[in-house]
Amino acid sequence: KQEVTQIPAALSVPEGENLVLNCSFTDSAIYNLQWFRQDPGKGLTSLLLIQSSQREQTSGRLNASLDKSSGRSTLYIAASQPGDSATYLCAVSRGSGTYKYIFGTGTRLKVLA
Amino acid sequence: DGGITQSPKYLFRKEGQNVTLSCEQNLNHDAMYWYRQDPGQGLRLIYYSQIVNDFQKGDIAEGYSVSREKKESFPLTVTSAQKNPTAFYLCASSASANTEAFFGQGTRLTVV
């Protein structure tokens, strides 16, 4: 059974710091992995989608990497800003042609001004 | 503006009542989903629909029902059979399987 873990559950950093958020999954047979951002009381905003054949994806200050063999993905945020404060979730698909994703519980990030 | 609209934002239900949560999308996506989010837990899939007039149970479908009569709409009914309905409900859509998912802003349901 696929399990997705995000550690730490919460993280506080000073503004300007580069940081890495982690996502681990137990079954390496994934089709793709998606990173989301969630502000308090709001829905999820898609940040990056990495296909299983890709090693990384970049969007602005965000860079997501995927290592299927080790069951890990990282989300790198460069030059963090207070506006980056939110909960970050990762989700892995269960296989080709599937509509089902398994979500981690998220990392709550606070960037201090 | 393309996107997913959920309504209402807040909903209060008395015990024993059925309530329906609305989800509409104008992204022309075939697939739509309903998730439930509880504190300290990941999102859990309630139902999903691959195409109009078709839907499948997710991991926690008991006490819920859906319909997909139009491509744009995927309403969720929380029935009185759902024992613990207080939660944050999120609707999502995607073009097809394994493609990027887009979410609405959620509906917070509270049983009073």
Per-residue pLDDT tens digits for B18-32:
999 999 999 999 999
Q: How many residues does chain B have?
A: 112
Q: Omega of the bond prior to B8 within 30 degrees of 0, cis?
A: yes
Whether the predicted pLDDT of A95 surpasses 90:
no
pLDDT tens, residue by residue, B66-87: 999 999 999 999 999 898 999 9
Count of beta carbons in the 10 Å neighbourhood of residue B109: 21
Residue B50 near residue B57, CB atoms below 8 Å: no
Interface-testing mutation among B10, B25, B98, with chain A (most A C-beta atoms within 10 A): B98
Mean pLDDT computed over every residue of chain A:
94
Determine, for residues A44 and B103 on separate chains, whether the beta-carbon distance falls below 8 Å: yes
Alpha helices in A1-113 (DSSP H): none
Tally the C-alpha atoms within 13 A of residue B108's C-alpha that lie toward its C-beta: 9
Extended beta strands in A43-95, E state: 44-51, 56-59, 62-67, 72-77, 86-93
For A32, which of B33, B90, B98 is closest by C-beta distance? B98
**pLDDT value at A106 more than 80:** yes
Expressed in angstroms, the distance from the first to the final Cα of chain B is 35
Identify all chain B residues contacting A96, using CB atoms and an 8 Å cutoff.
97-98
A contacts of B104 (beta carbons < 8 Å): 43
Report the share of chain B in percent with pLDDT over 70: 98
* Contact yes or no for B85/B111 (Cβ under 8 A): yes
